[in-house]
Chains A and B, each alone.
Chain A
């Protein structure tokens, strides 16, 4: 094997460069407008960048981006987050620009579909985290709760139908049960109304998600059922878990 010499990128550097070429629209724009010498960090990068066919790169990046949009189950991200995207669009954040920004975001860096170079989060969880960041802390609780709710539906669908998962789940609220997984969230009546679900008059409505093999259940729960999620065991919690277990949900 010929000595690669000191001026060639090693494996990690090659992987970094190819990944940046796919993800970084600014880099592609500068490469096209200013040339390889202007964007290369060193002679080794220049050696590689000089050989890139810009038209092919542009097509590859475009197809990569649209492929990300289609990831997840069924119709992709727009199918998974329909209400969230509609609410954000009404606030001025439109889909195509949103997708480009997502691919360049810190949150996208945590996504891994193919697990053999290291596991990561699923695309839905990364996208939800990105959307929450786009919405900002000043967004209405309805927007933030809608993003969370649509993410939980996606995660619980995966937990029920894509086992053993090839990705990790970062959402801390999801716990293991005897048969699968469960989570307890708290939503405002306004959010529930926006989703067409009936809540209660309370300001914070307990809402639970359950996944067992091949089956997902979710909805508003009573405080008696919510006791199943308690941190410290109590008689009420034990009774709630037994009840859920009898229904095949715990």
Chain B
């Protein structure tokens, strides 16, 4: 694999960062089960909620890096100045030694329509310069279409033109960004993520990564959701996984998943399945350029303690990633 054509500041980052945390941070304090998780408006320009502060204070030392997922503060055109007070609060709540990264949600690389990514990239670059982000990640999905917001990003059209367009979109996004872009394998069958087309998603993703020459993020739950959709469960859950662009993989994501009514749901409720830990264990030695493993959207109480159901597999993940972090580089 060659990355020489796309080298950007931070691209040469090669030191393992270990376990990281990625938190979706809506404004207005979150909703439903995640009420109290996010940013809240303050006279000073916004801040993290006490619940997030309590979690980061309690567990922050576990993480070699921290990242937040972008959510718009309002319908105003996004300007970095309107976000930095709150983002300062988020990153200051993590240990000073922790690396920083950013999850975008508006690059919209899976959409087949014409879409102007320049303003999103400009906004992201301003934040990256302020916070020294190591990378920007976004799921290869359709996050909005014709300006309509989607409740969950749809997988890109799994057709040849769909692949060609998504590849162009990803290459364009990488070109516009000042820091490395990690394109994330999309989620499937999450209770509202229908898709069109017949191409194999693993091969699709590998072709896109090669042709766009980008780094990738592999969300373990997303991979399992696709395997589940294809009937590859139990002992078959690893079938075909090595067709993913593992040499380009910089980051693994794990968010809470659950089997609901026979379907694999990526619920982001903090409780990791045993299968997610097992697939992570399988992938770690196969990803020679991996920088870190992100625990995505942990679920915790007001006092910051992880909910009881999530504790056991979080501990397994921490132990597993800790051993990998201390181990010899590939």
Contacts and interface: CB of A to CB of B under 8 A. Distances in A.
Interface of A: 1-5, 8-12, 14-15, 17-19, 21-22, 47-49, 51-53, 56-57, 59-60, 62-64, 66-67, 71, 111-120, 122, 158, 161-167
A220 to B, nearest CB: 29
Contacts of B327: none
B147 A56 contact: no
A4 B161 contact: yes
A14 B161 contact: yes
B196 A48 contact: yes
A53 B148 contact: no
A117 B151 contact: no
A52 B195 CA distance: 6
Contacts of A12: 112-113
Given A8-B160, A11-B113, A60-B154, A163 B76 contact: yes
29 contacts: A1-B163, A1-B167, A4-B159, A8-B159, A8-B160, A15-B112, A15-B113, A18-B145, A18-B196, A22-B150, A47-B197, A48-B157, A48-B196, A48-B197, A49-B196, A51-B198, A52-B196, A53-B189, A63-B152, A111-B148, A113-B147, A113-B148, A115-B77, A116-B108, A117-B145, A120-B147, A163-B76, A165-B75, A167-B75
Contacts of B114: 11, 117
Contacts of B146: 15, 19, 112, 117
Interface in B264-323: none
B96 to A, nearest CB: 34
Nearest to B117: A116
Nearest to A5: B160
B104 interface: no
B234 interface: no
Kindly name the residue among A17, A18, A66, A119 whose own CB sees the greatest number of chain B CB atoms within 10 A.
Answer: A18
A2 B160 contact: yes
A18 B211 CA distance: 25
A116 B191 CA distance: 26
A15 B196 CA distance: 11
Interface string B47-84: 00000000000000000000000000011110100000
B189 to A, nearest CB: 6
B116 A116 contact: yes
* B interface, size bucket: 35 or more
B74 A56 contact: no
Given A4-B160, A113-B149, A52 B76 contact: no
A216 B197 CA distance: 49
Contacts of B77: 115, 164-166
Contact of A67 (B142, B151, B195): B151
Contacts of B151: 60, 63-64, 66-67
Contacts of A165: 75-77
Contacts of A113: 75, 144, 147-149
Contacts of A15: 111-113, 145-146
Contacts of B113: 11-12, 15, 117
Contacts of B149: 67, 71, 113-114
A67 to B, nearest CB: 5
Contacts of B162: 14
A2 B74 CA distance: 42
B94 interface: no
The 4 tightest CB contacts between A and B, nearest first, are: A112-B147, A48-B196, A60-B192, A14-B112
A194 B60 CA distance: 55
A117 B160 contact: no
A19 B76 contact: no
Given A14-B162, A18-B196, 11 more contacts: A1-B211, A19-B148, A21-B194, A47-B197, A53-B189, A66-B151, A111-B147, A112-B146, A113-B147, A116-B116, A166-B75
Contacts of B196: 14, 17-18, 48-49, 51-52
B268 to A, nearest CB: 15
